[in-house]
Amino acid sequence: MNLLQIQDKVWAQACLGACAPHLEEKLGPPVPSCSVVGPVSSYYVQRYGFPSGCKVVAFTGDNPASLAGMRLEEGDIAISLGTSDTLFLWLQEPTPALEGHIFCSPVDPRHYMALLCFKNGSLMREKIRDESASGSWSEFSKALRSTEMGNGGNLGFYFDVKEITPEMIGRHRFSPENREVPAFPADVEIRALIEGQFLAKRIHAEGLGYRVLPKTKILATGGASHNGDILQVLADVFGAPVYVIDTANSACVGSAYRAFHGLAAGTGVPFSEVVKFAPSPRLAATPSPGAAQVYAALLPRYAQLEQRILSQSQGLPE
């Protein structure tokens, strides 16, 4: 699907030509994700007993299927807080970049989805927990509750393994005056890590064209989604309520939803109507009063410092 011109929904001729001759006729024309492309093969009817009238709905990848499984709607974000942190975004007007991936939405042919992956996820959080909270998540959470939003202007970048988004490595801590410092107090270190991780996610999401809308909600899953204090920082940084969902096998569930939608799509039924009776996510955190002002000031600072670190690592002038 990287051969597709996502705006026009047609194969890119230059890409087809670079890959193989006569590729377009082998691929066939692209179709919307909710299209029925034909009946199941007679092989499956004879071998496995499928009904001969069984319809096949257009295929999609595992990540788009996960977006369907998590039932994202316009303006929503899904974030998987695991070994790596992964961000799924619903986009109206994408601005493709060299980082991240942009796809056609699997549930609405007018819109798009983006995927961003951050390698330093839970393992980095666990390292700082061990170093600054005696290995205790309870102490880690207490530090988040005892420090103020914005961390007094202290910002941190924590990449013990080479990061994907952005491409950098190392730990970098900055005072409110943007001076790099060697260390923070333990509680400041913990908040700097969590705020820094979520500031980076918002900055790079907005770099792909994402904008937080009044109706935006964040759907969180993965190990760290069980920590309410981490989710509170997420809600504050993005300025949107955070919900938690059980997304075990979300790609499989999303594929089932999409098949159901494919059977109904001929009648013009939107995907949201098809899945309206699915289990609802649970509200876990809402933005704190004053959070919007605090992080509106920090976001451009964080982006500038990130660029400064990248320039220094590449030997470029700041």
In tens digits, the chain (318 residues) has pLDDT values of 889 999 999 999 999 999 999 999 999 999 988 999 999 999 999 999 999 999 999 988 888 898 999 999 889 999 999 899 999 999 988 988 888 999 999 999 899 999 999 999 999 999 999 999 999 999 999 999 999 999 999 999 999 999 999 999 999 999 999 999 999 999 999 999 999 999 999 999 999 999 999 999 999 988 899 999 999 999 999 999 999 987 667 888 899 999 999 988 777 899 999 999 988 899 999 999 999 999 999 999 999 999 999 998 877 666
Per residue in 155-165, is it b (16+ CB within 10 Å) or e — as a string?
bbbbbeeebbb
pLDDT at residue 250 in the model: 84
Which residues have a Cβ under 8 Å from the Cβ of 195 and sit 6 or more positions away?
150, 151, 155, 156, 233, 237, 298
Q: What is the pLDDT of residue 248?
A: 66
Which domains does the chain show, CATH number per domain? 1-29 (no CATH), 61-250+278-317 (3.30.420.40)
> What is the three-class DSSP state of 33?
coil
Distance from C-alpha of 228 to C-alpha of 233, rounded to nearest angstrom: 9
How many Å from the N-terminal Cα to the C-terminal Cα in the chain?
Answer: 37
Q: What was the pLDDT predicted at 184?
A: 98
Which residues are paired to 114 by β-bridges?
89, 102
Q: How far is the C-alpha of 311 from the C-alpha of 259, rounded, in Å?
A: 47
